[in-house]
Amino acid sequence: MSRATFDEYKDRYQTIKMRRTDGILEMRFHTNDGPFQWSLLPHAELEQAFLDVGRDYDNEVVILTGTGNEYCGPQLPPGGHPTRKGMTKERYDPIAWESKHLIGNLLNIEVPVISAINGPAYRHPELPLLSDIVIASDDCAFQDSAHFQGGMVPGDGVHVIFPLLLGPTRGSYFLLTGEVIGAADAHRLGLVNELLPREKVLDRAWELAHLLLKQDRLVRRYTRACLTEDLKRRMQTLLPYGLALEGLARMGD
C-alpha cells in the first residue's frame, strides 16, 4: 500500500473538513457545516479518512474536533434507533466491516491524537475518548444514546472503552442506563483531561499540539504506538465478538 498525501484526501469527504499547518492536521467533523450528525455516510467516511491520515507520513499530530455547540449527535430517545430491527446479514456485513476498520484505522494513526470536544457527544462517544489527550468544553456531556437504550447491543467499541475508562461496574451502568455524564463528572472520572470554555478548546488543542512538536519525531511516533498497543489488542479480541452479537440481535422482525 502506498503512502497517502494530504492533497489527495483533504477535500475528499463530505463530513470532514481538514487543515494542516506545521504537520498538525485538524479534522473537523460536521454535517452541512453544522453540528456533526451520525449516519451511514460519516460511518463510511471516517473509516477511510482515518486510513488516509494514518498512511500520510507527513502528519505529525492529529486534532479531532466537531462543529458548533455539539460534538456529535443526534441524541436518540429510548427505543429510537431507526435500524434496531429488521436487519439482514447482507445489510449488516458492510456496516460491521466499517465499524471494525474505523476503530482499527484510528488506533493505527502513529502520531499523537488530541480530541478537542466542543460540546455533548451523544453518538459514538468512544471515538474522541480513544485519543491520547482529551480536552473538552465545560458544557460537554457523554452518552451512548444509540445502543442499549435504543434497542441494540453496545458491541461496536463502547463495550471495550467505557469499562476500561470507568471500571467494569461503572462502565456497565453507563451503557445499560443511557446515563448522561456531564462535564464535571467526566473530568472527575478521568474521561477528559481539561475543561475549558467552548471558544478556547480548539486553541488549547493547537497549543498542546505545538508542545508535542518540540519532542523528537520518532519519540512522538513510537510513544503513540506504545500507548495504543494494549487498546489495539483489546479491540482485536473483543470488537469482532461485540459486533457479531450486535448484528445477531438486530436480525429479523
Average pLDDT over residues 57-72: 97
- pLDDT (tens digit, 9 = 90+) per residue, 137-154? 999 999 999 899 888 999
Q: What is the CATH number of the domain that holds 10?
A: 3.90.226.10
Asked whether 62 and 132 are in contact (CB, 8 A), the reply is no
Residue 47's domain spans which residues?
6-250
Mind spelling out the 3-state secondary structure of the chain?
Answer: CCCCCHHHHCCCCCCEEEEEECCEEEEEECECCECCECCHHHHHHHHHHHHHHHCCCCCCEEEEECECCECEECCCCCCCCCCCCCECHHHHHHHHHHHHHHHHHHHCCCCCEEEEECCCECCCCCCHHHCCEEEEECCCEECCCCCHHHCCCCCCCHHHHHHHHHCHHHHHHHHHHCCCEEHHHHHHCCCCCEEECHHHHHHHHHHHHHHHHCCCHHHHHHHHHHHHHHHHHHHHHHHHHHHHHHHHHHECC
- pLDDT (tens digit, 9 = 90+) per residue, 2-53? 799 999 999 999 999 999 999 999 999 999 999 999 999 999 999 999 999 9
What pLDDT is attached to residue 84?
A: 57
Q: Is 192 within the bounds of a domain?
A: yes
Reply yes or no on whether the pLDDT at 250 is more than 90: no
DSSP state of 116: E
Report d(CA 164, CA 11) in Å as an integer.
Answer: 35
Please tell me which residue in 90, 126, 179, 229 is annotated as part of the active site: 126
Residue type (1 letter), 231: L
Query: Total structural domains in the chain?
Result: 1
What pLDDT is attached to residue 1?
A: 62
Q: Residue 4 is placed in which grid cell?
A: 497517502
The terminus-to-terminus CA distance of the chain in angstroms comes to: 42
Q: Is 55 within the bounds of a domain?
A: yes
DSSP state of 4: P
126 part of the active site: yes
Q: Is 234 within the bounds of a domain?
A: yes
* C-alpha separations of 86 from 8, 10, 149, 162 in Å: 38, 36, 17, 28
What pLDDT is attached to residue 150?
A: 85
Q: Is 35 within the bounds of a domain?
A: yes
Residue type (1 letter), 45: E
What value does the mean pLDDT of the chain take?
A: 94
Q: Is 28 within the bounds of a domain?
A: yes
Q: Is 1 within the bounds of a domain?
A: no
194 vs 251 pLDDT, higher one = 194
Confidence of residue 90 (pLDDT cuts 50, 70, 90): confident
Q: Is 218 within the bounds of a domain?
A: yes
Report d(CA 136, CA 119) in Å as an integer.
Answer: 7
